[in-house]
Amino acid sequence: MKHRLVLIGFGTVGQGLAEILLKRELELEAVSGVRFVVVAVSDLLKGSVYHPDGLDLAELLDLARTGQRLDAYADRSGVVKGWDSLSTIVAAQADTVVEVSWTDVQTGQPAIAHVKAAFASGKHAVLTNKGPIALAYHELQQAADAAGCLLRFEGTVMSGTPAIRLGRQALAGCQISEIKGILNGTTNYILTNMEAGVDYAAALAEAQRLGYAEADPTADVEGFDAMAKVVILANVMMGAHVSLGTVVRQGITGLNRADIAAATEAGERWKLIGHIKRQADGAVSVSVQPMRLPIQHPLAGVSGVTNAITFTTDLLGDVTLVGPGAGRYETGFAVLSDLLEIAHVGKP
Ligand code: HSE
């Protein structure tokens, strides 16, 4: 079965996905029966190219690697160039739009408009940007339902580590009363290194070098990145209607070496914890704050850039998932996992 994709954005994640699809093409078809074909790529800076029968991924990746625009894609019969993102979404003959463009975290645009256009033209949508889901999850889900399309966004929390899929699908028969997570790799890396004696600025610089930190690292260290993730988890897993403004948020910039040493002495460890809890009256509270956890706590042992999440459930007690939270292939894989689900589920 062929599943045709439109890629909106051809930066790190778009290219990571393209590399995985290229490398795993035969293997994926053999195990899943699905052949993913990229029919269009549209990128604000790099230009756009479309062919209804599919594009040559190796050639696209080569253009990106050598800093060339997509307009330099070899002309063949049927190739269309120059469409902007919305024209590509609407006009391309495709099954799913993969939205991995650069998005304004304050407004969620242009990703929100892209996803709505995908549904309006009968296409499923996969996102990895947190902004649109943190800002407009219920609205986008309603638009998907009304159009009979699917919306998936595994990569918005813990990249390809299946936190959302675990909570929504594998734990579907349980009631989740509480979620605690280390949802930001940069801050966890900084805290781990400060405990080992490295100073804050050097640890942050290294997290930036590793490509983990956001373009503006304030988003990491002041807890804004984790805040978007707790809003997504609360709204998606707990049926809440919380917005970014309702999150109690505190970053790690107020912690110094003395605080870290005091925790160590007490057999505890500081972690920046995203916390979602259903209260007795049914309301859902959300916060991001540094917490001192006893060393035996499952989240206390998670070090470096690694992320982790603990679901507290009625039938299983605590279930903890540990894994990467960012990266080219890690987030590319998140998209692939959503695509495999969509290709199998099809329209509901
Ligand atoms: N800046 C984020 C982090 C990347 O450090 O975890 C993933 O959202």
Ramachandran bin of 108, using left for φ above 0, alpha for ψ from -120 to 50, beta for the remaining angles:
left
Task: Say if residue 300 is in the same domain as residue 180.
Answer: yes
Do 155 and 168 fall within a single domain? no
The pLDDT value recorded for residue 327 is 93
Query: What is the C-alpha separation between 257 and 262, in angstroms, rounded?
Result: 9
Catalytic residue among 46, 116, 123, 229: 229
pLDDT value of residue 212: 84
* Total-model pTM: 0.96
pLDDT at 347: 44
> What pLDDT score was predicted for residue 346?
59
Question: Are residues 195 and 252 in contact, defined by beta-carbon separation less than 8 angstroms?
Answer: no
Examine the residue annotation and report whether 229 is marked as an active-site residue of this protein: yes
Question: Does residue 260 share a domain with residue 141?
Answer: no
CATH code: domain of residue 154: 3.40.50.720
CA of 210 from ligand 1 middle (Å) equals 11
Cα 261 versus chain centre, distance: 33
Compute how many other C-beta atoms are within 10 angstroms of the C-beta atom of residue 131: 20
| 210, two tokens | 């590793």
Atom nearest to 326 CA in ligand 1: 7
Contact 34, 343 (CB under 8 A): yes
Q: What CA–CA distance (Å, rounded) separates 151 from 199?
A: 42
Closest CA to 308 of 279, 277, 271: 271
- C-alpha–C-alpha distance, residues 300 and 290, integer Å: 12
- The secondary structure of residue 10, as a DSSP letter, is -
Q: 174 and 155 share a domain? A: no
How far is residue 83's CA from residue 8's CA, in Å, rounded to a whole number? 11
Q: Cα 322 to the chain's mean position, in Å? A: 15
Residues 34 and 109 in one domain: yes
Pocket of ligand 1 (CB under 6 A): 184-186, 212-214, 220, 225, 325-326
What residues make up the domain containing 172? 164-323
The total of other beta-carbon atoms located within 10 Å of residue 196's CB is 9
**One domain for residues 169 and 127:** no
What is the full per-residue pLDDT of the chain (348 aa) written as tens digits? Answer: 899 999 999 999 999 999 999 999 989 999 889 999 999 999 999 999 999 999 999 999 999 999 999 999 999 999 999 999 999 999 999 999 999 998 888 899 999 999 999 999 999 999 999 999 999 999 999 999 999 999 999 999 999 999 999 999 999 999 999 999 999 999 999 999 999 999 888 999 998 888 888 878 999 999 999 999 999 999 999 999 999 999 999 999 999 889 999 999 999 999 999 999 999 999 999 999 999 999 999 999 999 999 999 999 999 999 999 999 999 999 999 999 999 999 987 544
Give the number of the atom of ligand 1 that is nearest the alpha carbon of residue 219: 1
Tell me the best of 12, 216, 225, 230 to mutate to test the pocket of ligand 1, counting ligand atoms within 8 Å of each CB and taking the most.
225
Count of H-run helices and E-run strands, the chain: 12, 13
Asked whether the beta carbons of 225 and 214 are under 8 A apart, the reply is: yes
Q: Which atom of ligand 1 is nearest to the CA of 187?
A: 5
Q: Which residues of 264-288 are buried (b: 16+ CB within 10 A; e: fewer)?
A: eeeebbbbbbbbbbbeeeeebbbbb
Pair 193, 151 in one domain: no
Whether residue 110 has a cis bond before it, omega within 30° of 0? yes
